[in-house]
Amino acid sequence: MDYKQTLNLPTTGFPMKANLARREPEQLKQWEDLRLYESIRTASAGRTPFILHDGPPYANGHIHIGTALNKILKDIIVRSKQMSGFDAVYVPGWDCHGLPIEHNVDKELGEKKKSLTRSQVRKLCRAYAERFIDIQRSEFKRLGVMGDWTHPYLTMNYEYEAIIARECMKFGLSGDLTRSKKPIHWCFTCQTALAEAEIEYQDESTDSIFVKFALADDLTAEVPALTGKQVYLVIWTTTPWTLPANLAVALHPDFEYVAVDAGRDEVYVLARDLVEPCMATFGRAAYSILARIDPRRLERKRCRHPFYDRESIIVLGKHVTLDAGTGCVHTAPGHGREDHDVGLEYGIEAYSPVDDRGRFTPEVEFFGGQFVLDANSQIRAKLSETGALVQAGKLAHSYPHCWRCKQPVIFRATPQWFISMDKTELRRKSLEEIDRVQWIPAWGRERIYGMIENRPDWCVSRQRAWGVPITVCYCAQCETLLLNEEIIDRVVRMFSEHGADVWFERDVAQILPPGARCPQCGHDGFIKETDILDVWFDSGVSHAAVLEVRKDLRWPADLYLEGSDQHRGWFHSSLLTAVGTRGRAPYDGVLTHGFVVDAEGRKMSKSLGNVIAPKEVIDRYGAEILRLWVSASDYREDIRISDTILTQLSDAYRRIRNTHRFMLGNLYDFAPETDAVAAEQMPEIDRFTLHRLQLLVEKARRAYDLYEYHTIFHALHNFCAVDLSALYLDILKDRLYTSPAKSRERRSAQTVLYTLTDTLCRLMAPILPFTAEEIWQHMVAAPNRVPSVHLAPLPTPQPERMDAQLAERWEQLLAVRGEVTKALESARVQKLIGHALDAAVTLSVDGELYDRLARYAEDLRSIFIVSAAELVKDQPLEGAFESAEIKGLKIRVQPADGEKCHRCWVHETSVGQNPEHPTICARCTQALAA
């Protein structure tokens, strides 16, 4: 007889091979057909909302691995909050305006751009953004990210554009929005402002000159040694043409300066550390140091401009370096970023007497009307003439050029719009708000606090086409802003209806109400601003445009989650716009993740050739493995990815999958509502396993609450591999296979398997939504069970299923088991046995342990998975394995007595005793009779 047919062997349609790359898209289609997301919304109506507000990715290019990480993390959060009993609506968004798109459209247009109107260019940009939104949307969905993909928020939606304008005008109304000059990169060929991204650096040979500025103030009080001497500050510059705009000389407050007797009745002030190289350059071998000078004593002293009849003041700035030059820095606030910043501190204007074509304005003495780069040589000549030129040479260094025309660019101050950090205490209020937000990890607070504390005013204007205009008009006569509630309403209505394009299509008279007059001077002519807003403002007001507007959302958000670069980016701009207009942060919590790096911890870049695209991973391993990667990593730090890591995760995935496949296979004939066995009727090992399951659930739920998913992955994997596969399930096989199918002992095991499968499946669902669903669909469903695991709640710990004393006894039993397996292995090496069932073990233990084990004497055989286990009290056992871990424990392994039962494979002396079934044991004979 073939006794194999009498066993209850596992059977399931749940495939061992996941085939994720093929099956996932099918699953997504099914969910879509079932309208799963809508069902979840309906089912959670009325629950407490949990709002994770999506930071909008930029609608350009395909998603990269970092975007995938970000979206998967968000999805895990949303799903786990949903399954924790919240109504977790997820509205994805896209950032649509901005330079990169306009830049790419420019490239496609080439020369044609010049013949197009601003509105025409804007339409092309809009179409471009739409194209990539569609691409990215399908890529995000492919990752298993669940959300309202049919109604995402787009910063270029008309309603959104209207709110951007509205929020901007609120700053105008409050007086925070101001206009002042600031140096920007300017291409005089294209006659346009350029962003940093539009600059290409090329090596170029430029002038390198040293110029002396005669000190006008007397230093006798500060440095007596200089009494009666003519003192000069010597500066170094590579842009002589900016000297007409010189208004100051900057020193570093912490450097040491000295007065050097340079001969020819001249005293030079130089940074001490640069004296030697400078004097060598000047060809003045013989010099002596007269005095040390504390730069702080020179602050606000005056010098003579080298060729104009005016003064330059001495200022202190930490941007001064000792890398090159003299330690005294020529400062023209209209022509340099740092010059401008230090100028602001000292109240010096951003003087920039250069027009759009790069020519000095007429009032510039000696050089009016000259092209600035051509003026360099004449300025040099002028300096020689006045005797201010100390030294002249050439220097090769990298100089900014325009990306389009390849010509050199200049720094030039132009009027820009700023949101003031201090005028209405935006900085102070923001800093206060930072302390009310929960930053995860906690150092996020230090990071953003430092930035807000030190940042300059926010320059929000850009001289570009693709964006939302700064919707203000100002008096043509006195430049006073004309802004009130009525105008705001008009603009908002116009934008909601026609989009921001309307601002460029209509002239100022059509925008302002009829009869508008300047509140300051009564004039009726107005200028419409045509600069657009920094795109950080666009996304920064998403809390207003999305959270406040959508009925299914709520202001403020519970959580913002982005990469740690967003402390400078979206967290920052969102904070400022919300505090500035609403007086508080738009989020209660901010979670950050690190960046994806390669196996060596280096950033991914095309040049290093270490870029891993999400698509490659999905096609090769499946989105589920990418998700598992996200969950396995501690994302608060940088996250490594490599083939080694992905292979490892595939292995882990397979272990989790196969564990569930085995459990499903043993549940084929189990109906939970009729076959379940009550816990009190279960064997101890079953209750022990349920106890351990509770510990896992507790741990995982805590980790979900703390957003620490890697803990869950490790715990889940460990549980499947160690607690289940290597222990419980291995021991269970005998009971499941050989006991009568409907026996209580088998039903008890199945009850546990059912509980395990059901619990683990729900526990993993936020991380592995595809696999959890696949398991769910292969379970024999209890009546009225929800149709998708994603409609089910996360499991909750059930204290009544815990039994600490029982667990403690079993932990000890398992420690003994560990020693037994060692003894078995040693017997195996000696060829005494092969399979553990070939063995009979005898344990000798001392008193206390004996008493504890005696209780389980009958169970030891099955716990150890051997054919026989005998327990004796402290007896010498010849040739026994002596445990190093448990003192007094000796284990003797011998080949088991009796024949191997053909049915259960246990070696039993009862085999052969029954004439009807001569090849099987008494236990099996009994089972067959049942």
Partner RNA sequence: GGGCCUGUAGCUCAGUCCGGUUAGAGCGCACGCCUGAUAAGCGUGAGGUCGAUGGUUCAAUUCCAUCCAGGCCCA
Residues between 395 and 424 that touch RNA (CB under 7 A) = none
- Interface with RNA (CB under 7 A), residue from 107, 394, 602, 620: 602
Contact by Cβ (8 Å): 409, 222: no
Nearest distance, CB of residue 660 and RNA, angstroms: 8
| Interface region with RNA, contact rule CB under 7 A, candidates 251-259, 682-690, 695-703, 820-828 | 820-828
Nearest distance, CB of residue 511 and RNA, angstroms: 33
Nearest distance, CB of residue 837 and RNA, angstroms: 8
- Interface with RNA (CB under 7 A), residue from 45, 286, 829, 929: 829
Closest CA to 380 of 241, 521, 271: 241
| CA 285 and chain centroid, separation | 57
Give the DSSP H/E element, type plus range, for residue 298. none
3-state secondary structure of 260: strand
Give me the residue label for tokens 């009796």.
Answer: 898
> Is residue 254 packed enough to be buried (19+ CB in 10 Å), middle (13-18) or exposed (0-12)?
exposed
Closest to RNA by CB, 2 vs 309, is 2
Locate 595 and state its tokens.
Answer: 């960046």
Sites for RNA among residues 847-906 (CB under 7 A): 902-905
Nearest distance, CB of residue 237 and RNA, angstroms: 17
Site string for RNA, 606-635 (x = CB under 7 A): --------------------------xxx-
Total binding residues toward RNA, as defined by CB under 7 A:
77
Give the DSSP H/E element, type plus range, for residue 845. strand 839-845
Residue 892 to residue 882: CA distance in whole angstroms: 9
Q: Measure the CA angle with vertex 369, ends 364 and 370; round to 5°.
A: 100
- Interface with RNA (CB under 7 A), residue from 179, 272, 380, 447: 447
Q: Measured in Å, how far apart are the chain's first and last C-alpha atoms?
A: 18
| Interface region with RNA, contact rule CB under 7 A, candidates 214-222, 400-408, 669-677, 814-822 | 814-822
Nearest distance, CB of residue 886 and RNA, angstroms: 12
* Count of beta carbons in the 10 Å neighbourhood of residue 882: 14
| Interface region with RNA, contact rule CB under 7 A, candidates 200-208, 213-221, 559-567, 581-589 | 559-567
Sites for RNA among residues 570-599 (CB under 7 A): 594-595, 597, 599
Nearest distance, CB of residue 924 and RNA, angstroms: 9
Sites for RNA among residues 297-336 (CB under 7 A): 319
Nearest distance, CB of residue 106 and RNA, angstroms: 23
Sites for RNA among residues 102-161 (CB under 7 A): none
Closest to RNA by CB, 324 vs 478, is 324
- Interface with RNA (CB under 7 A), residue from 568, 691, 801, 923: 568
Contact by Cβ (8 Å): 771, 720: no
Contact by Cβ (8 Å): 829, 881: no
Closest to RNA by CB, 16 vs 521, is 16
| Interface region with RNA, contact rule CB under 7 A, candidates 7-15, 184-192, 412-420, 888-896 | 7-15
| Interface region with RNA, contact rule CB under 7 A, candidates 279-287, 443-451, 500-508, 841-849 | 443-451
Closest to RNA by CB, 503 vs 688, is 688
Nearest distance, CB of residue 98 and RNA, angstroms: 14
Give the DSSP H/E element, type plus range, for residue 463. none
Nearest distance, CB of residue 89 and RNA, angstroms: 29
What is the signed CA dihedral for 177, 182, 185, 190, rounded to 10 degrees?
70
Closest to RNA by CB, 822 vs 873, is 822
Sheet with 473-475: list strands edge to edge.
481-482, 473-475, 526-528
* Phi-psi domain of 87 (left: phi exceeds 0; alpha: psi -120 through 50; beta: other): beta
Residue 735 to residue 725: CA distance in whole angstroms: 15
Closest to RNA by CB, 30 vs 644, is 644
Contact by Cβ (8 Å): 772, 761: yes
Sites for RNA among residues 31-60 (CB under 7 A): none
Nearest distance, CB of residue 319 and RNA, angstroms: 6
Site string for RNA, 708-747 (x = CB under 7 A): --xx-xx--xx--xx-xxxx-xx--xx--xx---------
Max CA separation in the chain (angstroms):
130
Residues 807-836: b if buried by 16+ CB within 10 A, e if exposed: bebbeebeebbebbeebbeebbeeeebeeb
- Interface with RNA (CB under 7 A), residue from 108, 374, 446, 705: 446
Residue 822 in contact with RNA, rule: CB under 7 A: yes
Sheet with 890-895: list strands edge to edge.
868-873, 839-845, 890-895, 881-882
| Interface region with RNA, contact rule CB under 7 A, candidates 18-26, 118-126, 486-494, 706-714 | 706-714
Handedness of CA 892, 898, 902, 904 (dihedral sign): negative
| Interface region with RNA, contact rule CB under 7 A, candidates 240-248, 480-488, 672-680, 705-713 | 705-713
Contacts of 722 (CB under 8 A, 6+ apart): none
Sites for RNA among residues 633-692 (CB under 7 A): 633-634, 637-640, 644-645, 648, 651-652, 654-655, 658-659, 661-662, 665
Nearest distance, CB of residue 919 and RNA, angstroms: 10
Residue 52 pairs in a beta bridge with 559
- Interface with RNA (CB under 7 A), residue from 242, 471, 564, 862: 564
Handedness of CA 409, 412, 417, 419 (dihedral sign): positive
Closest CA to 472 of 519, 529, 512, 515: 529
